[in-house]
Structure formats: structure tokens, C-alpha cells
Chains A and B, each alone.
Chain A
Amino acid sequence: MKLEELRKIRERAEAEMRLRAGEARVKIVVGMGTSGIAAGARQVLRAILDEVAQRNLRDVLVTQTGEKGLSAKEPLVEVHEPGRITIYGEVDEATARRIVVEHVLHGRILEDHLVELREVPR
């Protein structure tokens, strides 16, 4: 592993981060855990990271969590925004990409995979 390469990436990325200077607007949480992984959560996590990178969405944070007791609906993806959390179920790779494009980018909820929409105090 060449750490020198990472230092170069750091120089480029830090300059870019200074330009946009802000907190993450959206957090996307992928439910992993045994049954989530078996159901395809790996591919989902990867597709989301890929779509976020391709569309250069630098105010989106992608993270993961364990099982949530909704095994039947896995893989689960949560979109955390100010004021609300949207939970999607039975997400496959294609749906994962739609979540990034339709929901995160254009603000449209994907009704066909919606499990729960939760209002949260800002």
C-alpha cells in the first residue's frame, strides 16, 4: 500500500473540500448484518458509493449499520435529511441507484420501496 498516493489524493481532495465548506446535507445508511449481506447489501452499499461518486455528490455521507429487526425487508437503506428519515426496503442495486438519483438528487420519494417515513425534530 503506497501511502504516498493517499497523500496526493489528500492534497487534491482538501482543496476541493475547502471550496464547498459545509456539513453533509444527507446521510445514507445501509443496513448490513448477516441477512442483509446475504440479501445483497454488499452490492447495494457499493452501488450507492458508486452513484454518489459518479454524480459528484460531495454533501452526501454514506455509512452502514447492523440489523434492525426488519429482516424480511432487507436490504434496508435509510436516507437521513433534516426533519425526516426515509426507510426503503428490499433494495437491490438498481433501486439503490434510483434512491441516489431520484430521492437524494431530486427529492422524490420512491413509493414502491418505501417502508417508513419518519418525521424527526430538526
Chain B
Amino acid sequence: MVEDLAFHLADLVENAIRANASFVEIELRREGPDFFLRLRDDGVGMDEEARRRAADPFFTTKPGRRIGLGLALLRQTAEELGGEFRLNSQPGWGTEVEVRLPWAHPDRPPLGDLPGTLIPLIATSPVEFRLVFRDDRTAWTLDTREMKQALGEVPLSHPEVLSFLEGEMRKALADLGWKEAG
């Protein structure tokens, strides 16, 4: 099973929603030879025991499932490529996951279809998002609270809004030169 980074992001977002988050911040950052993926939520957070076990492939808090692979897969991917996996979480504070991956490593998972994955997810989710793509030259931000203010009663899942957002994200990715994403 080869998972692209869009898959991992979708999975992390679902974890955050399940942890009753009301706000999720996602940052994708290219810095020198490295690519960073960071997701921070304000959900229930994890205590020490849960943290210790969260990145273990045989641990899950999801009812009815014995194996939760999301975080474990991401950690394994990062470590196999000589990158890093960090998990910060406290009950009442939320959870932050950050991975560093060497951008040019031949086995780095591809970015995948970020607009096709993230825009539908963000538009139909009950959670507020702030999404940042950046490198050392430029940054692109999407903030659902600002967008909702601009849109009033019109939902983010409105077809015109969806295609506008996908287009904007594709442009941002092209600007950043993260071409394989599109």
C-alpha cells in the first residue's frame, strides 16, 4: 500500500475531527533539502499512555477497530527515509504532529492530489481550518473563518466556491514548484 502525503493529511484531519477539534492548522513547508508537514488541532489531546501508543501500529482509540495505522504509517515513512516524526499532545491542549522528509529522496511519498483531497474535505467538514503552503520565497494561506466571513450564508461546498478554491490551490502549488501535486 503506497500512501501519498495527501492521504496522510486526510487521515490526520479525520483524527482531529474525531478528537472533537474545532480548529485545525495545517502547514506544508519546503525548507532547503527538507519538506515539513505539520498539523495542529485543538481537540481533546492525548495523555502519556495514549501518546506512547499512538504511533504504534497495533493501537487505536477508534471504537470497533483493533488496528489504527495512520500515525504509525506516517512515522514509519519518515523514519525509513531518514526524516523525523514528532508528536506533541496534552489532554486539553490538543495534538500536534510534525514530520520532516528529505524532499529529494527517491522513496519520498508523492504529494498526491492535494487540491482534490483537501478542498472537498475542508468544505464538508464541521471544523475550521487554516492551511499554509510555504517555502523560503512565498507563502499561500487559506483560512476558512475568513472565507466564511466573505461568503456569508453561501456554504464552502457551493460548486462555484469549490472550483475557485481548487483552482487557487493549484496555482499556489505551481507557484511553489510542487508540480507533482497537480
Contacts and interface: CB of A to CB of B under 8 A. Distances in A.
B18 A66 contact: yes
A12 interface: yes
B28 interface: no
Contacts of B117: 42
Contact count band on B: 35 or more
A52 interface: yes
Interface residues of A, number: 34
Interface stretch (A32-40, A80-88, A105-113, A114-122): A32-40
Contact of A6 (B3, B123, B147): B147
A94 interface: no
Interface in A7-34: 7, 9-10, 12-14, 17, 30, 32-34
A1 B142 contact: yes
Given A5-B164, A6-B147, A64-B121, A46 B153 contact: no
Interface string B49-74: 00000000000001111001110000
A13 B10 contact: no
Summarize B's interface: helix, strand, loop or mixed.
Answer: helix
B150 A14 contact: no
B124 A67 contact: no
A60 to B, nearest CB: 10
B1 to A, nearest CB: 7
Contacts of B158: 9, 13
Given A13-B158, A32-B121, A67-B62, A6 B150 contact: yes
Given A1-B141, A46-B120, A67-B64, A62 B157 contact: yes
13 contacts: A3-B146, A3-B147, A9-B158, A9-B164, A13-B151, A32-B10, A34-B11, A35-B65, A45-B120, A49-B157, A62-B124, A64-B124, A66-B18
Interface of B: 1, 3, 6-7, 10-11, 14, 17-18, 62-65, 68-70, 113, 116-117, 120-121, 123-125, 140-143, 146-147, 150-154, 157-164, 168
